[in-house]
Amino acid sequence: MTTSAHPQRIVIVEDQTAIREMLAEILRSDQNYRIVGECGDGQQACKLCLELKPDLIVLDARLPGLSGVDILRRISKPLKQTRVLIFSAFESPILVREMLEAGAHGFVEKTAGLSEFKKGLETIARGGTYFGPGVAALLRNVVAHPGPASGIDALTRREREILKLVAESNSTRGIAEKLAISAKTVDNHRTNLMRKLDMHDVASLTRYSLEIGLIHH
């Protein structure tokens, strides 16, 4: 990346302090970037980005408060010029697709290392899109083997509602009351969604719901 007269203004959103400080240190040593904000909480990140209107955002996928997907959905329209790189330990086809649909320009997995991170950031700063090797392989695999609708796409609207409520630790009776349906109907929907997702306990459903941003910590 060529040195520009105006360094790109950047906000780092990462809830693990050690990783956030390490990224900040790397970027401070590069005259192409100027860090204007850092935070580790989703709600705060949303506010900070809308206030500062940075050129670039480095965004983790899973954060306390709001998920990375939720943040993107809130900021991508008002911040049309801002470029966003996802730097995440979690990579699933659903998560990657949701991030891209919400407005991300690149996605680098944390296991790819810092040279990939820098390459990704430089690429999106120049207006391109970038995927780390793990994410690129994941996307190639999805394209090569599309198969039937899977994951959240395979669920009906009602099944998605019930998945969210189950993952939020609501009981069958509680879900039935909230949705004004019978407990038997809730059980039927739950059986169907577990079969479609190939998950057979509440812990798996909760983990999956967190991963795709359906619920938050």
The upper half-sphere exposure of residue 159, i.e. CA atoms within 13 Å in the direction of its Cβ, equals 17
132 and 157 belong to one structural domain: no
92 and 197 belong to one structural domain: no
Q: Is residue 45 part of a domain?
A: yes
Last residue of a domain, one of 144, 161, 183: 144
The 10 Å CB-count burial string (b at 16+, else e) for 146-157 is eeeeeebeebee
87 and 163 belong to one structural domain: no
**54 is in which domain, residue-wise?**
8-144
Cβ distance 124 to 106 under 8 Å? yes
Please count the structural domains in the chain: 2
Q: Is residue 1 part of a domain?
A: no
Neighbouring C-beta atoms of residue 81, cutoff 10 Å: 7
52 and 80 belong to one structural domain: yes
Kindly report the backbone phi and psi dihedral angles of residue 132, in degrees, each rounded to the nearest multiple of 5, phi listed first. -65, 165
Check residue 1 and give its pLDDT.
46
Check residue 5 and give its pLDDT.
60
Check residue 21 and give its pLDDT.
95
What is the chain's pLDDT, residue by residue, as a tens digit (217 residues)? 444 568 999 999 999 999 999 999 999 999 999 999 999 999 999 999 999 999 999 999 988 888 898 899 999 999 999 999 999 987 777 788 888 888 999 999 999 989 999 999 999 999 999 999 988 888 887 667 655 555 777 788 899 889 999 988 899 999 999 999 999 999 999 999 988 888 888 888 888 888 777 776 5
| DSSP-assigned beta bridge partners for residue 109 | 88
57 and 158 belong to one structural domain: no
166 and 136 belong to one structural domain: no
Check residue 118 and give its pLDDT.
95
Q: Is residue 30 part of a domain?
A: yes
Residue 164: CATH number of its domain: 1.10.10.10
159 and 66 belong to one structural domain: no
Residue 70: CATH number of its domain: 3.40.50.2300
The encoded tokens of residue 172 equal 């069958």
Neighbouring C-beta atoms of residue 179, cutoff 10 Å: 16
78 and 171 belong to one structural domain: no
133 and 188 belong to one structural domain: no
CA of residue 89 relative to chain centroid, distance: 10
Q: Is residue 2 part of a domain?
A: no
133 and 62 belong to one structural domain: yes
93 and 78 belong to one structural domain: yes
* Helix axes 114-125 and 17-28, enclosed angle (nearest 10): 60
